[in-house]
Structure 1
């Protein structure tokens, strides 16, 4: 019954993993693993199995039950293990831990990600129960069983989310269950029962205080420290290839075919939020790509649900077209498994990518929720949101003046945004710079956007207008980003297949508002372009560059400050696992230091008693050594609560103990002091042996706490407390 507390503590310690899984299969894995562990532990204790036999039984149970419990997708009929499932189960012992923290939660029962929870439950309950049952209850080493739920608790927190109030509450429950386990192992008398109850109450009070006092902030866990396997380069920008799609070799190329889009619905290729002055790329939180467990929870109120089937033809590159915030995605075809393993998703930017890149014939089905695309005329009521995007590295010349002129007289941020974007669409004209078109340079760097604002009329295409619109929105306080992709034309139907060519590629912007991200198509309507107006000859425009900005005076830093700044700029290349080990070592070291400081007074008492004993044992003469043995015996009796009045003789004190060894030492001490005869070395040795035997006999009759209290007792030092406290005011 006592071992049940530790088994429950192990199961409760796994609760912090629930936000990672959020599936009933997690509960099944933990419960089944715990029951198996407890069963093996009980049989092992009952039949006195060896360590090897217990380990073999555990491995057998893991292989027998692991597939249907921890990898249900690879179980035949959901209950029978398969060869593929067994192979996955074996490799998951090593690989699933890292996979768990690189997949976006909730992971559900995706692939073999339930294996860590199953192993922690099975091995944790098994080890805690075996140690609790098989180690002697009254031996100090039996307390090591209480370490097991603490280890499983630390592991589940380390594998869990970076922000979770449940971790603190669970910690309280685990400590209370451990305290109950300690209490159940003590004597059942009333005094001990109240003392054990006090331990439990104290643990609950301290843990409750921690819940109230400790702030719930982001913790550093493995999920936040580990380097994701898919990292985009800073210069990755499909927008720089836009002109090649609409005028180059891919203009008439069939890029992909999609079924499920209605007219006006969008198919996003990539979301770009980092403007370097040379190009718009993926940066900030938009570059946070992780694996997904097949499906993700999506707020149904965030937009219209879209179910689409997409087949890739000549579209290449890492970007996976998606119709909105991803709910689920399933690759089809013979290479579906490899594509699934290669797929990563950025939830903040709603962008998908393949490590291996797209290839002709790749196909997949997806369910997503598409956000609203609003008309420019409906922007006046919008207010800026709180999304975080990287600040533009360069603001093109002419943009601030354009915003100041077009938004003049407008009061709210939404009105200013509406006025500036309306002016951009009204004054702008579309040209891709192709044969027979008005010349229009490609690119979207600071020079090109500055030239766009300087020209009369403004001429460009979606590459320039989306960039200019995003920068305008940013200047007006709206976090903004550029989205490149396709928009279903009028007449499209979800029941019919729609083929997009390179000429269909376009770009729009999304701005963060108080209602979330809102899409805006800022491309001007296609119409005839008037002749170019002559510019003021007195104004000379110099080219703007993001690579070589004007030199600016910077404050000089001293050598130490420069060194610190250089050190801060160095990337953190320390392995996350090493960081964790160092953090644990540092925490343990500081804990031991503080425990040592707190325990130093008690350790000093033990040291002084040891020094006093050694001084008596190594006295100059054998007579003094025998008398020292009696003094040591008397101090042992006093520290253990036996009265030894100074008026009583040695024999009287010894006889009150009822221990023969005490009487023998008293007689020998009297003989050494009063007979005048020389004491032999054998008599000295016998006296000290009797003292040790008496000390051991007294210790056996007392509880552990009583023995500790005797070791740190100050009674034998005969300190005159009355004189030490004589300065205190007396009660009248």
Structure 2
């Protein structure tokens, strides 16, 4: 604590009065300032993930709250856990108004709903952040993440700054390492492009090194050694400049790609990437002698074992119409229904009432794509082909639509087995429709409202009766055509709005096949108020072999109890060909052909591919050597890249800095050993022994008036006094010393340096090698490096040379104080 001066009236003396314990002292203010500054810089890494600056305001508030709480609890003498508990309470108490923009369910305290939302975002918000295209809404609930990060940064940083640790270096480094971890976490949750290299690189590094230097100086024993504060400051600045200079070329070795979690966290599966199977229905029709390689009418699609003939096999369920096609979608059902394509294990929690069956399926020559044919509601799945494990890892299943997908694709010969429950899905007279407007008609599909009203006029008010009446009208009034005959080619494929409106329900004659009938029937049911969806599949014939001729499209209707009932194809589609044959002309067809969407190449067996992966595959071809090298890198796990980037790079920088210190000392030793005159070599050898002693932590007197014999008293060595006298004898002797004598003296100095190193532990020898004490600029040495006059002699002042007994006593004291290795 800093003391304030107070003068007493009686004696006139000045005393120091200690302020209140809650007021930070000089050291506490320093730690608070550095903690706050480093935390704010770390929080700026979220800048590329959020819009606006609300994230930074919320994060800085978290830092301030945590710093204040941590300091007050420490000043009050409370344990660290009390600060953790208080910050946790404030996290939930202030999380609603700061992040959710809600005060909760009461006027003062947050209610259960607010607390649950804050907790949910704290646990699962990171996943929402990583799987959302950045930048996300800066005013949304994901603000809980910077709020929580700010609290953690302030709490951990300041708590570790006051944590009592015996080792000086660890005490100085702990809070700095904590703030570095906060920055690394924010970067990992960010995007590939940094918000600011200046802030997250240079500014953060400068603040961290400065705080580290301040804490190290505060925690260590003060050994001035004749140096001044400005010299030490200049040395610190030089080290920062050296670090920056080494970091620049080192960054080129690491690479320019930032390793962020977004690169490895898989986004939600988008079933919309794959074309609707209903749009390609005409590959299953009979071409009547025409040749089309894509047609599979007579090819084997599946060999099914374990079910009775007549069982419906589901290829895909299409539950969303976008005015172009009926397609599969995620979360099409309202409410908490589990309606999404999600990864499942070999055992599936899918409680459904019905008869359990065990089915084995072998794909035939005509089957390709990502859709996996199944029966009923799956309970378990087992792939039996060579790449079974890869398929099982990426297999996805939609519990609500009973649709299975293998994103890597399926091929003829693939075999799999599963257990399933066949529910009672037959539509009876007692079935009651759900009568809820779940899926409003898409824009442009309002054309169906007129025909629906007209075809169901006498059906009454019951929604299911109206649906069945419309189905009966389609069956009796409609005609069937695949558009293959010469006079039927005007009946084109597709089920877009234009195809279903002008060329189907509003045409002079309703003509189409399963594609148009099923698409229209589902729209009619939705318009009436009974949720409906289209299913593509086939009924198992005798023998279990399904070819393209068995493929059909039917409609499923949602009953009042939430189950789905099947409206068979024959209930709304006639097999009667068109009554009136329209002659073929050269005029363009009135209908617009809506071809199926171009199929997207299915991802590889390793998992789903992103757009970035597809673009990289289309990039310019690289040289074979480069491709081989990149292949080796790609085979490495993702965590190796993270370790190399965030652990290897700092370690490499640290090794380079320490190596620079060792190399500088070696260069200095070489320069002293190879000085121009033998006398200067004697002087350099003695200075080498003094510098070695200082690096070992020994207090050696320095200054222009200090002789070598006085310095030998501070050197913990049995031969220091003898070596000092030998140096004086040659430097101040009557004649110029020989070069061989200087070489012999250097050998003696080297031997003594080795002996001094053997007296200490291994860790202390390492610290001496990288110590900066001897590199600090000091005042002039006891004798200059210049070759003195042969006749010059210096006689030590009386009483200034320590006795032999004093030297021995000092040696014993230093050895007793030396910490064990």
TM range, normalised to the smaller chain?
0.3 to 0.5
Q: TM-score, normalised on structure 2?
A: 0.42
Structure showing greater radius of gyration is 2
Q: TM-score, normalised on structure 1?
A: 0.46
